[in-house]
Amino acid sequence: MTKTTHEKNINDVFDNYYCNIKESLDGLKEILRINFLENNIYYKCGLDNIQAIHKNVIELLNHTYTPRKVRIKLRELNFEELEVQKSV
């Protein structure tokens, strides 16, 4: 029997999204590396921000939330994002 996204284990879902986020962050690091010298302030600032995002993603994933709490929080974030886009 195939599971739908809603039926999947929350850990599997988070693992999948974490891998996608990690790949995206690695891609941004590569872009910085290609476009700036390592001693360039933009390179250093960009790398610091990427590392901060990675750290925060890990901290978020380390908390154990019920699938319901995760869905509620995601809905809240999506709503807030839509509100910001409407005001721009």
Report if pTM > 0.75: no
Residue 54 CA to residue 21 CA, distance in Å, equals 8
- Is 65 or 27 the better-scoring residue by pLDDT? 27
Express each pLDDT in 39-86 by its tens digit: 999 999 999 999 999 888 878 777 767 777 777 877 888 888 888 778
Express each pLDDT in 3-22 by its tens digit: 555 556 766 777 788 888 88
Please report, for residues 8, 53, 77, the alpha-carbon distance to residue 24 in angstroms, rounded to integers and kept in the order given.
Answer: 23, 11, 20
